[in-house]
Amino acid sequence: MLTGVQIVLAGGDARQLEIIRRLTELDAAVTLMGFDRLDTPYSGVVKGEWTPEALSSAHALLLPAVGTEDDGTIAAIFTDQELKFTEAHAAAMPKTCKIYTGMAKPYLRRLCEKYHLGLVELFERDDVAIYNSIPTAEGALMMAIQNTDITIHGSVCMVLGLGRTGLTMARTLQGLGAKVLAGVRREESFARSYEMGFEPFYIADIARQAGNIDLIFNTIPNMIVTAQVIAQLPLRAVIIDLASKPGGTDFRFAEKRGIKALLAPGLPGIVAPKTAGRIIANSLSQMILEDHKRGNTP
């Protein structure tokens, strides 16, 4: 149980509702910032003003999937007010307070380093990333169906990156009867791709593999689908970029050539916010609980 643990939850989207529910089940004292347009039927939950003083007794600060923007802005769909994480907020926090978020941009990392605050990026955890790959693959599949006039069955699909998301994506496409080409960088990934029935190729050869592709699913957050690659694609091809912004596709050249290219980060929170919220809530509550048991919270 998290009885006596003071948790501040600032901003976010529908995923936060599952986090609030889970924390209240564990008897944490939850203060919501940036939720003035949300009714809170949960016991033990209060709303507060986003001020540095409000963080002075917090044991944990929970931020949205993307912690802050480059200017400190915190995304918050349940308020019209602007929330910003500033130096004053960081300075007011106890050194024992940890910040939990999905992923942190340099701005947030810099403030945490400067004020010696613990920072946990949930999406870096293998378990969270693998669980999240399920709604990501389903959302990408939905986009593919909406933006093509062919069935996935019998289509030729290219998945770039056979990591936690790419592997789930490739298996999902294969299960629907698609021919799956898997772009990899390492020998062991090449071997695993072959063993799983995909057609592996090395990323360096991507342009030569692009001539007969219906769908590309990119998971690599570097410029990988370049103008040289897009120039080889048939005009019917659709690119769905699942990497974090700005993605790994030359969107300008794709538009110029008339090829549909869609940037689609954060699909779990869009297509399945309840499931995505539960994934975060389960891992988050377990980590806070472990810290509490070890005495890392006052």
Residue 292 has pLDDT above 90, yes or no: no
Do both 78 and 149 map to the same domain? no
Residue 251, domain member (yes or no): yes
Residue 121, token pair as written in the block:
């990026």
Do both 137 and 258 map to the same domain? yes
Do both 111 and 173 map to the same domain? no
pLDDT of residue 298: 45
Do both 160 and 45 map to the same domain? no
Mean pLDDT score of the chain: 94
Residue 297 has pLDDT above 80, yes or no: no
The range of the structural domain enclosing residue 150 comes to: 128-265
pLDDT of residue 39: 81
Percent with pLDDT over 70 in the chain: 98
Confidence of residue 296 (pLDDT cuts 50, 70, 90): low
Tell me the average pLDDT across 193-206: 97
Do both 150 and 249 map to the same domain? yes
Do both 158 and 261 map to the same domain? yes
Do both 197 and 277 map to the same domain? no
Question: How many domains are there within the chain?
Answer: 2
Per-residue DSSP letters for 13-80? -THHHHHHHHHHHTT-EEEEES-TTS----TTEEEE---GGGGTT-SEEE--SB---TTSEE-BTT-S
Do both 141 and 120 map to the same domain? no
Do both 18 and 139 map to the same domain? no
Residue 194, token pair as written in the block:
């072959």
CA distance 200 to 186: 11
Residue 1, domain member (yes or no): no
Do both 26 and 61 map to the same domain? yes
Residue 152, domain member (yes or no): yes
Each residue of 153-188: pLDDT tens digit? 999 999 999 999 999 999 999 999 999 999 999 999
Which of 108, 122, 123, 68 is CA-nearest to residue 287?
122
CA distance 94 to 110: 17
Do both 277 and 201 map to the same domain? no
Each residue of 73-102: pLDDT tens digit? 999 999 999 999 999 999 999 999 999 999
Tell me the average pLDDT across 7-34: 93
Residue 34, domain member (yes or no): yes
Residue 44, domain member (yes or no): yes
CATH code, domain carrying 48: 3.40.50.720
Do both 138 and 259 map to the same domain? yes
Percent with pLDDT over 90 in the chain: 88
Residue 143, domain member (yes or no): yes
Residue 64 has pLDDT above 60, yes or no: yes
